[in-house]
Amino acid sequence: MRGFQPRCDWRFILLRFFDSIPAMPLKIDVLTLFPRMLDGFLAESILGKGIEAGLLAVNVHDLRAWTTDKHRTADDRPFGGGAGMVMKPEPVFAAIEQLQTPGCRRIYLTPDGVPLSSKLALELSEQQHLVLLSGHYEGIDQRIRDTLIDQEISIGDYVLTNGTLAAAVVIDALARFIPGVLGEEKSLTHESFSSKLLDFPQYTRPAEFRGMSIPEVLLSGNHAEIEKWRHARQLEKTRRVRPDLLT
């Protein structure tokens, strides 16, 4: 009879050793002219708990801290004329050069960037360090984009007054992929965009409310039937609302 064989393979020992080292939490630096916009967002709910538990670290910086004149000027008129103001290069260069680390990803939030998606959020959650730059006014001096920015991300086809809320959206979307943030990892698996399908309808107690009852199948206890019903609802909703996801 074979007894317990201890694993003495050096590769096994190395793997166990690295497994026992806790992963470094993702560090995010946000550069904005409106740092207080993120106060409540970072303190509340699932994200606030994730930060408190040390699963990710978010530092919000006021870009004006890197201005050098007494008026703390962060913008100027555009060369070539036109309406609005443009964010000056000097404070942004100084800030990013101070905060960046080797291998970090420097991101500018902008409506003409690549659209944020679940796939991109997952990819960002696997980085070690992100620097998120929020613009204001007409945007930022192109030389910042040309030399300091690794990726430009849009949160949708509309224009916000500044990029701080866009940075918040990126942080919220990626945080959900960091192990431990959601608590119950399986809640990620059926969600909209985790497959090519949108989510199914959810109901909770009471089963009867103002004459509206919940679908019978959900009370059946028959898990196979419930799965079938949910999948059918997902297909029906995706066909109706986002047929592009099915092509």
Ligand X SMILES: C[S@@+](CC[C@H](N)C(=O)[O-])C[C@H]1O[C@@H](n2cnc3c(N)ncnc32)[C@H](O)[C@@H]1O
198 binds ligand X (CB under 6 A): no
Among residues 99, 139, 177, 229, the one that binds ligand X under rule CB under 6 A = 139
**Which one, 26 or 107, has the nearer CB to ligand X?**
107
176 binds ligand X (CB under 6 A): no
Among residues 156, 201, 206, 215, the one that binds ligand X under rule CB under 6 A = 156
d(CA 116, CA 132): 13
**Which one, 91 or 111, has the nearer CB to ligand X?**
111
Q: Which residue is nearest to ligand X (CB)?
A: 135
Determine the interface stretch with ligand X among 37-45, 67-75, 103-111, 222-230 (rule: CB under 6 A): 103-111
Rounded CA Rg of the chain: 24
CB 73, min distance to ligand X, A: 17
Among residues 162, 178, 218, 245, the one that binds ligand X under rule CB under 6 A = 162
Place of tokens 């003409």: 112
d(CA 63, CA 72): 9
Start-to-end Cα distance in the chain:
56
Binding residues with ligand X: total (CB under 6 A) = 19
d(CA 109, CA 98): 19
230 binds ligand X (CB under 6 A): no
Among residues 158, 210, 224, 240, the one that binds ligand X under rule CB under 6 A = 158
180 binds ligand X (CB under 6 A): no
Query: In this structure, are residues 118 and 148 in contact, taking their beta carbons and an 8 Å threshold?
Result: no
Among residues 57, 160, 214, 245, the one that binds ligand X under rule CB under 6 A = 160
91 binds ligand X (CB under 6 A): no
Among residues 92, 155, 175, 181, the one that binds ligand X under rule CB under 6 A = 155
Among residues 111, 124, 168, 176, the one that binds ligand X under rule CB under 6 A = 111
Query: In this structure, are residues 133 and 89 in contact, taking their beta carbons and an 8 Å threshold?
Result: no
What b/e string do you get for 205-233 counting C-beta neighbours within 10 Å, with b at 16 or more?
eeeeeeeeebeeebeeeeeeebeebbeeb
Written as one string, the DSSP assignment of 38-57 is: GHHHHHSHHHHHHHHTTSEE
Among residues 91, 96, 129, 134, the one that binds ligand X under rule CB under 6 A = 134
In order of 62, 65, 142, the CA distances from 74 in angstroms are 11, 10, 15
What b/e string do you get for 88-102 counting C-beta neighbours within 10 Å, with b at 16 or more?
bbbbbbebbeebbee
**Which one, 25 or 89, has the nearer CB to ligand X?**
89
Q: Using CB under 6 A as the criterion, which residues of the chain lie in contact with ligand X when the complex forms?
A: 109-112, 134-136, 138-139, 154-156, 158-163, 166
